[in-house]
């Protein structure tokens, strides 16, 4: 049944360098068709709980009284759905309402020794509670509870904003909302074992910005990862730091920096700031912001102009359901967004396009080389961006199943230059051809070059209340 469903997937547009790409949204469409055609359709609900007052639910269908082949398809459908929900919405407790067998299989997969041991461990760390998967009757399914709160938009005073990426640190200095200085400084934090490297680099960036202000009233920052009350719960920026030093020297790093500077200090996920930047720039809500840089960060501003407590860690969300899809080097999972929409994705596609670069060259430097080729009119580089754009178009349709979205803001190094225009053009074409109902609903926005590179730092400066 799995092979039958996968073979039934037919893309109206095929990414030229990823011709076997199987979009998540189309696979699920074929799965639902197969369930309906079988005459054995059963409704279930998947719920992910962050705390008793914050729960996301997602209804779907599966084969009832499934044979072995149908059960394999059921598990594939629900497991990929759970994986996406965990990293888009977040949660330590997953409830499968309406099917005990599927829940039991998922509990094996999401366990210390299971295929998703990484996700099991990370959710436990983020929510300070061991992850669990349970079942209940369909009628007893948890109810949705989606709290939200305002974020940023404070412009008064002399502020510093910073954004910490995997290849550079960006900073901005603002006075009453007016940008007076911005800068980016290269660094290489990913596999640094000594957290003092990170502390020194961040402080250097703050001092550079402070030099252009008469005083510092507040500091706001963003970085890929999960931050709760300024504490680092999960961040690729510090992935090289040993676990014991992470607990003692990284977890409270930003709280300590706030005390050192003696001003209101706020740090949040860079995706949230991406969305905030877009909402502020466009004066609009229902904004999904996506940053394609060292990783794939996401953030969301809802219809009320507030942020949710969702994770929006889009790097780990499955977007490609083909067998043997590219593997994420961190989690080991296949077909996740990190291999498609960031520097790693560009590096992966370069040899497929016929561009040979040194294997030990850093991803950021490989991206720069591809960008140079793109600017010179090299058709091989164009193919990379075309492939990314087609895959992105199908993935936008997937995101629309989970986000009430009207505006889509794109930031990050991968979108810099002519390549970014190709990505958006191809993505828009996919929506027009394959998902016409979305083409007129979702408006793409990509900032000008300066805003693209420094917009997050400027928005980050607005985070703290003075």
Strand partners, 220: 161, 266
Residue 442 has pLDDT above 90, yes or no: yes
Instruction: Name the pTM for this structure.
Output: 0.85
The pLDDT value recorded for residue 452 is 53
Residue 107 has pLDDT above 80, yes or no: yes
Residue 165's pLDDT band, with cuts at 50, 70 and 90, is: confident
Query: How is the beta sheet containing 296-301 ordered, strand by strand?
Result: 148-149, 307-308, 296-301, 287-292, 407-411, 443-445
Residue 397 has pLDDT above 90, yes or no: yes
Residue 233's pLDDT band, with cuts at 50, 70 and 90, is: confident
Phi then psi dihedrals of residue 444, to 5 deg: -85, 145
**Coil vs helix vs strand at 269:** strand
With CA atoms as reference, report the closest residue to 329 among 191, 132, 225: 191
Integer Cα distance of 106 and 91 in angstroms? 15
Residue 231 has pLDDT above 80, yes or no: yes
Residue 450's pLDDT band, with cuts at 50, 70 and 90, is: low
The pLDDT value recorded for residue 384 is 98
Residue 445 has pLDDT above 60, yes or no: yes
The half-sphere exposure of 219 on its side-chain side, counting CA atoms within 13 A, is: 28
Integer Cα distance of 149 and 162 in angstroms? 22
Between residues 94 and 191, which one has the greater pLDDT?
94
How much of the chain, in percent, has pLDDT values that exceed 90?
A: 77
DSSP string covering 231-263: EEEE-GGGTTS-HHHIIIIITTHHHHHHHHHTS
Average pLDDT over residues 15-30: 98
User: Residue 182: which H helix or E strand, with range?
Assistant: strand 178-186
Q: Which of the listed ranges 190-199, 235-244, 377-386 does the model predict with the highest average pLDDT?
A: 377-386
Integer Cα distance of 299 and 222 in angstroms? 11
Tell me whether strands 265-269 and 407-411 are parallel, antiparallel or unpaired: unpaired
Residue 275's pLDDT band, with cuts at 50, 70 and 90, is: confident
The pLDDT value recorded for residue 260 is 96
Least confident of 334-338, 356-360, 375-379: 356-360
What's the whole-number average pLDDT of the chain?
93
**Coil vs helix vs strand at 108:** helix
Whether residue 225 contacts residue 177, with contact meaning beta carbons closer than 8 Å, is answered with: no
Q: What is the 3-state secondary structure (H, E, C) of 302-334?
A: CCCCCEECCCCCHHHCECECCCCCCECCCCCCE
Strand partners, 407: 287, 443
Tokens found for residue 192: 């640094």
């Amino acid at each position: 049944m799995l092979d039958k469903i996968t073979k039934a997937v037919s893309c109206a547009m095929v990414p030229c360098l990823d011709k076997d790409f199987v979009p998540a949204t189309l696979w699920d469409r074929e799965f639902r068709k197969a369930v309906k055609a079988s005459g054995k359709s059963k409704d279930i609900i998947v719920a992910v709980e962050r705390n008793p007052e914050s729960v996301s639910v997602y209804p779907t269908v599966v084969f009832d009284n499934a044979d072995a082949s149908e059960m394999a398809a059921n598990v594939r459908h629900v497991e990929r759905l759970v994986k996406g929900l965990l990293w888009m919405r977040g949660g330590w407790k997953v409830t499968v309402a309406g099917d005990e067998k599927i829940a039991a299989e998922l509990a094996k997969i999401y366990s210390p020794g299971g295929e998703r041991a990484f996700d099991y461990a990370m959710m436990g760390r983020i929510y300070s509670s061991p992850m669990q998967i349970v079942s209940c009757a369909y009628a007893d399914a948890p109810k949705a509870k989606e709290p939200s709160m305002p974020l940023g938009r404070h412009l008064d005073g002399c502020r510093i904003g910073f954004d910490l990426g995997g290849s550079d640190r960006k900073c901005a200095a603002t006075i009453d909302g007016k940008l007076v200085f911005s800068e980016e400084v290269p660094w290489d934090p990913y596999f640094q074992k000594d957290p003092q490297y990170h502390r020194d680099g961040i402080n250097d960036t703050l001092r550079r910005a402070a030099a252009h202000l008469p005083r510092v009233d507040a500091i706001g920052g963003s970085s890929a990862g999960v931050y709760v009350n300024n504490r680092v719960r999960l961040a690729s920026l510090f992935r090289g730091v040993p676990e014991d030093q992470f607990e003692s020297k990284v977890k409270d790093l930003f709280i300590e920096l706030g005390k050192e500077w003696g001003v209101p200090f706020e740090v949040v996920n860079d995706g949230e700031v991406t969305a905030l930047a877009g909402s502020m720039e466009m004066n609009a809500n229902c904004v999904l912001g996506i940053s394609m840089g060292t990783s794939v960060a996401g953030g969301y501003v809802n219809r009320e102009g507030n942020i949710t407590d969702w994770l929006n860690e889009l790097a780990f969300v499955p977007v490609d359901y083909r067998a043997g899809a590219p593997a994420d080097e961190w989690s080991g999972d296949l077909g996740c967004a990190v291999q498609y929409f960031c520097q790693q994705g560009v590096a992966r596609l370069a040899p497929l396009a016929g561009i040979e670069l040194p294997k030990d060259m850093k991803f950021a430097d490989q991206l720069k080389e591809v960008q140079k080729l793109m600017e010179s009119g090299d058709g091989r580089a164009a193919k990379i961006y075309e492939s990314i754009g087609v895959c992105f178009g199908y993935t936008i349709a997937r995101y629309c199943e989970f986000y009430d979205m009207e505006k889509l803001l794109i930031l990050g190094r991968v979108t810099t230059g002519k390549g970014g225009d190709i990505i958006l053009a191809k993505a828009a074409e996919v929506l027009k051809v394959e998902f016409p109902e979305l083409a007129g609903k979702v408006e793409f926005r990509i900032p000008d070059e300066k805003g693209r590179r420094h917009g997050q730092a400027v928005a980050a400066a607005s985070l703290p209340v003075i």
